[in-house]
């Protein structure tokens, strides 16, 4: 069941009340919630995206970036060839 938030706004032309649906922001939040739930129950199949070099190692405290091919979850590792 979707929750639809409604905001009342006064029209400048005739002074009547207009209903403005905020469905877009609710859909965006629901998409984020679905992504989090999907990533929790995913059996991650990680693929190496890139290796990290130079000062970025100190900034990110990692040496490589890995991404799950199923849910697109990104994780960082201290090693170049494996995840933690």
Interval 12-64: pLDDT, tens? 444 444 445 556 777 778 888 988 898 899 999 999 999 999 999 999 999 99
The pTM assigned to this predicted structure is 0.60
Nearest to 70 by CA among 42, 49, 40, 48: 42
Query: Both 76 and 51 in a single domain?
Result: yes
In the numeric block, which tokens belong to residue 81? Answer: 């060839």
51 vs 7, higher pLDDT: 51
Q: How confident is the model at residue 74 (pLDDT cuts 50, 70, 90)?
A: very high
Query: Both 22 and 3 in a single domain?
Result: yes
Q: How confident is the model at residue 66 (pLDDT cuts 50, 70, 90)?
A: very high
Measure the CA angle with vertex 61, ends 53 and 44; round to 5°. Answer: 95
Give the pLDDT confidence score for residue 1 in this predicted structure.
Answer: 41
In the numeric block, which tokens belong to residue 78? Answer: 């201290």
In the numeric block, which tokens belong to residue 71? Answer: 């849910």
Find the domain containing 25 and state its range: 1-41
List Cα–Cα distances, 83 to 7, 10, 13, 17, 22, in angstroms. 47, 55, 61, 57, 41
Query: Both 63 and 80 in a single domain?
Result: yes
């Amino acid at each position: 069941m979707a929750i639809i938030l409604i905001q009342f706004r006064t029209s400048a032309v005739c002074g009547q009340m207009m209903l403005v649906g905020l469905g877009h922001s609710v859909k965006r939040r629901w998409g984020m919630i679905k992504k989090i739930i999907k990533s929790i129950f995913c059996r991650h199949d990680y693929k190496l995206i890139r290796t990290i070099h130079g000062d970025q190692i100190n900034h990110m405290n990692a040496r490589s970036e890995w991404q799950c091919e199923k849910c697109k979850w990104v994780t960082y590792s201290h090693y170049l060839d494996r995840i933690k």
